[in-house]
């Protein structure tokens, strides 16, 4: 069985709490094989930030009112409020 390191993050509240994710959070997520953001991002750019570290799956929280307009068709599960980015590390923002 292959071991995978999964990073969990939630309630980042960007930009209200801070302009960017704290360095400590980025350091803790570095080296993960997958990152799960459990909601209350407040801006889609949070996914772009953590996705530079590892493939990311995020769930909308009760404070998330944005639509992910640049996400690939079929990449948003409206019934679960989940969206997934499958862009390779260091890739461009356009899918």
Instruction: Calculate the dihedral angle through the C-alpha atoms of 33, 86, 65, 8, rounding to the nearest 10 degrees.
Output: -10
pLDDT tens series, the chain, 95 aa: 788 899 999 999 999 999 989 999 999 999 999 898 988 888 888 888 888 899 888 888 888 877 665 554 434 333 334 555 444 444 444 33
Quote the pTM value.
0.70
Beta-bridge partners for 6? 34
Between CA 36 and CA 61 the distance in angstroms is 13
For the chain, the DSSP string reads -----EEEE----TTTS-SS--HHHHHHHTT-SEEEE-S--SSTHHHHHHHTTS-EEEE--TT-----TTSPTT-EETTTTEEE--PPTT--S--
């Amino acid at each position: 069985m292959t071991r995978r390191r999964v990073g969990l993050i939630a309630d980042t509240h960007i930009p209200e709490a801070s302009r960017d994710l704290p360095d400590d959070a980025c350091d803790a997520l570095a080296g993960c094989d997958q990152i799960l953001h459990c909601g209350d991002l407040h801006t889609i750019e949070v996914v772009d930030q953590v996705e530079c570290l590892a493939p990311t799956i995020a769930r909308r929280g009760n404070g998330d009112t944005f639509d992910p307009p640049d996400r690939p068709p079929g990449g948003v599960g409206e019934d679960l409020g989940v969206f997934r980015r499958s862009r390779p590390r260091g890739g461009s923002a356009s899918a």
